[in-house]
Structure 1
Amino acid sequence: MRGYVLRRLVQAVLVLWAAYTLSFLLLSALPGDAVTNRIQDPEAQISPEAGRLMLEFYGLDRPVWEQYLHALWSVLGGDLGFSLSTGKPVAQMITEALPSTLALTGLALVFGLVFAGVIALAANYAPWAWLRGIFDSAPALFASVPTFVVGVLALQYLSFRWHLIPSVDNGTLLALLAPAATLGLIVAAPLAQVFATSVRTTRQRPFVHVVQARGAGEGYIFRKDVLRNSSLPVLTLLGLAVGELIAGAVVTESVYARQGIGQVTVGAVGTQDLPVVQGVVLLSTVAYVLVNLAVDLAYPFIDPRVLVDGRTRRVTVVRGKKSVVPVPVPVVASRRLPAEVAMP
């Protein structure tokens, strides 16, 4: 277990460094920046001496490799630099905008999990075939509709026509429900598709048929065997869904006029404020890496076989010789059924 955790921690650090380096190089390759644009703007009336001092203050007069080393060392010390447009510390701008985005993405994740669970269970356990078909096609529908379209339609009907929610963010929970549900659809579509397929595949496994033959009901089989064996693909995809939440928050906050990381990103991109953009990229990478690290560390508790590369071993005899063959074995929570479901 210790080696497994250490490998995942090293991988997380490498991903953070690679993401920061790649974003720095890409942003540095873009033509222009907020300071240079302001110096070259005739209406700003900035003297050459003042422009030189501004470039020197922000370090833009140095070679790219020197800027990178200085920025990397500053980030390791917790300093993300200053905004080229406002002069405010980037860390302060992100800290002020982060609570609103965390509330939005957190509630959106809850909505996404609820939507995905309901759709997946209905697609497998609904009593009628036509109803199962409708729920089975729902993830493809959710994935095909852009986020801004859902947001605009929700505003049109829920706010302007029916007056159920405020049209702008007023700090209440009611104003958070519609954008969170809109963003939750992004997560629900892939999660529901994978969960429904995983449950359907697990229900066809031989060990499930054995438990059914011994008289267990669908509810008992789902709780004890199907849910556990179907959760690993969903858990893996849940880590990847964090990236979709962060990207979708930019569009959702713009549609619903919410102040958060999305609005900060839109403003920084519009003014070519590279330190702010890089700070947001770093924040997104940290969130993505931390969630995926938590998912990786949760694997052994759901399936201990992950610690041996996801395989168990059994001894077989081939032509009189004993050999060890790695074979996948389903996780069966209970080998012995309780008395109330066991066959006499």
Structure 2
Amino acid sequence: MARYVLKRLVHAILVLWAAYTLAFIMLTALPGNAISNLINNPQNQLTPEDGKILRAFYGLDEPVVIQYLHALDALFHGNFGYSLSNGAKVSDLLGDALPSTLQLTGLGFVFGAVIAAGVGIGGSYARWNWLRTLLRSFPALAASVPSFVIGILILYYFSFELHLIPAVDNGTFLALVGPAATLGIMISAPLSQVFSASIAATRRQPFVHVLQARGADERYIFGRGVLRNSSLPVLTMLGLAVGELIAGSVVTEAVFARNGIGQITLNAVNTQDLPVVQGVVLVATTGYVLVNLVVDVVYPLVDPRIGADVLAKQLTRTKRPTGSTPVGSGVDEAMSPRLSEEVTTR
């Protein structure tokens, strides 16, 4: 297990490096930057000597490779550099904006998971056929509507019409509900679709028919077998949903006038502020990688087949004697008798 976690950790570090390098290359290839725009602006009345001093101070007069190496060295020492637009520390800018965005994405993640769970379970187990049909159509509807449209509708009805939530960020929890619900609806579409399909596929498995033949009710079958097996694809989608949350926060913060990473990203891209954009890319990639790393670690705990496969590979490296029963074989077959025995003893 330790080898498995270490391997995933190395992959995470490589992803962070690749994302930071790609952002540096793409932004460096663009013509101009914040300092060049400042120097070339006639209203600033900067002399050519002042321009050279500014470019030398920010290291923009050096070759691109040297700039990249300096940026990596500063990054290893915890220095994100200074903004080319206002001269502030990038770490201070991100530190001030990050708590607001974390609150937004965290609550949006909870809303999305709750909505997806309700739609997936209700679409499979609801008593009325019309309700099941309505819930099953929700993923397609939510995925087809852009996030900014959802945000504007929530803002219009719940802020301007019903006066339930503030129209702008005033620092209260109610001001967080509207944008978090927007993000939650956005990410719930793929989650609920995958969860519903996974529940339907799991209910057709042989161990479910065995439990039904033993007299187990639907609640017991769902709690002891269907839910655990259906959650594995959803775990993968949860890791991918973090990327949608980070991207969606940019638009959502603009709609609800929240100061966060999204606003900083928009300003940095408009002014081509390279250090700030690199800092945002690194923070966003770190969050994405950490969540997917947690998902990779949780996988063997949820699915015993993955844990058995990891153990089998470790035993293979240690030259396990031939002729023994492969580790992890019969996991699926053993699940049904174990559940059936529990039903019998109830």
TM-score (norm 1): 0.92
1:164 to partner: Cα distance: 1.5
The residue that corresponds to 1:91 in the other structure is 91
Q: Give the secondary-structure state (helix, strand or coil) at the position aligned to 2:258.
A: coil
- Does the aligned pair in 2 maintain the 1:38–1:44 contact within 8 Å? yes
The residue that corresponds to 1:273 in the other structure is 273
Provide the C-alpha distance between the structure 2 equivalents of 1:148 and 1:19, rounded to a whole number of angstroms: 27
Q: Structure 1 residues 238, 336: closer, same or farther in 2, change over 3 A?
A: closer
Provide the C-alpha distance between the structure 1 equivalents of 2:80 and 2:105, rounded to a whole number of angstroms: 23
For structure 2, list consecutive stretches of 5 or more residues without a partner in the other structure: 314-322
Q: Structure 1 residues 143, 206: closer, same or farther in 2, change over 3 A?
A: same
Return the letter of the residue paired with 1:235. L
The residue that corresponds to 1:243 in the other structure is 243
The residue that corresponds to 1:139 in the other structure is 139
Aligned positions of 1:190-339 closer than 5 A? 190-309=190-309, 329-330=331-332, 332=335, 335-337=338-340
The residue that corresponds to 2:53 in the other structure is 53
1:129 to partner: Cα distance: 2.2
Return the letter of the residue paired with 1:335. R
Provide the C-alpha distance between the structure 1 equivalents of 2:288 and 2:262, rounded to a whole number of angstroms: 16
Q: Structure 1 residues 334, 162: closer, same or farther in 2, change over 3 A?
A: farther
Deviations 1:98-121, CA, capped at 9 Å, x for gaps: 000000000000100110000000
Return the letter of the residue paired with 1:278. Q
Q: Structure 1 residues 328, 68: closer, same or farther in 2, change over 3 A?
A: farther
Provide the C-alpha distance between the structure 1 equivalents of 2:173 and 2:337, rounded to a whole number of angstroms: 42
Q: Give the secondary-structure state (helix, strand or coil) at the position aligned to 1:123.
A: helix
1:338 to partner: Cα distance: 6.9
The residue that corresponds to 1:35 in the other structure is 35
1:130 to partner: Cα distance: 2.3
Q: CA RMSD in A?
A: 2.2
How many matched pairs?
335
Return the letter of the residue paired with 1:293. L
The residue that corresponds to 2:82 in the other structure is 82
Provide the C-alpha distance between the structure 1 equivalents of 2:301 and 2:31, rounded to a whole number of angstroms: 49
Q: Structure 1 residues 333, 8: closer, same or farther in 2, change over 3 A?
A: farther
Provide the C-alpha distance between the structure 2 equivalents of 1:3 and 1:51, rounded to a whole number of angstroms: 52
Deviations 1:128-154, CA, capped at 9 Å, x for gaps: 222211111101110110010011111
Provide the C-alpha distance between the structure 2 equivalents of 1:283 and 1:18, rounded to a whole number of angstroms: 13
1:59 to partner: Cα distance: 0.8
For structure 1, list consecutive stretches of 5 or more residues without a partner in the other structure: 314-321
Deviations 1:163-196, CA, capped at 9 Å, x for gaps: 1111110000111101100111121111100011
Q: Give the secondary-structure state (helix, strand or coil) at the position aligned to 1:259.
A: coil
Deviations 1:222-272, CA, capped at 9 Å, x for gaps: 111111111110001100110000000000000000010011111111111
Provide the C-alpha distance between the structure 2 equivalents of 1:290 and 1:312, rounded to a whole number of angstroms: 26
- Does the aligned pair in 2 maintain the 1:310–1:328 contact within 8 Å? no
- Does the aligned pair in 2 maintain the 1:265–1:277 contact within 8 Å? yes
The residue that corresponds to 2:344 in the other structure is 342
Deviations 1:32-75, CA, capped at 9 Å, x for gaps: 10000010010111111111111111111111111111101111
Q: Give the secondary-structure state (helix, strand or coil) at the position aligned to 1:305.
A: helix
Q: Structure 1 residues 305, 267: closer, same or farther in 2, change over 3 A?
A: same
Provide the C-alpha distance between the structure 2 equivalents of 1:151 and 1:160, rounded to a whole number of angstroms: 13
Provide the C-alpha distance between the structure 2 equivalents of 1:312 and 1:219, rounded to a whole number of angstroms: 34
Task: Answer 1 or 2: which has greater strand percent.
Answer: 1
After superposing on structure 2, the runs of 4+ consecutive aligned residues of structure 1 that deviate more than 6 Å are 310-313, 322-328
Task: Answer 1 or 2: which has greater helix percent.
Answer: 2
Provide the C-alpha distance between the structure 2 equivalents of 1:328 and 1:41, rounded to a whole number of angstroms: 72
Provide the C-alpha distance between the structure 1 equivalents of 2:35 and 2:156, rounded to a whole number of angstroms: 40
Provide the C-alpha distance between the structure 2 equivalents of 1:343 and 1:39, rounded to a whole number of angstroms: 81
1:342 to partner: Cα distance: 2.9
Return the letter of the residue paired with 2:175. A
1:212 to partner: Cα distance: 1.1
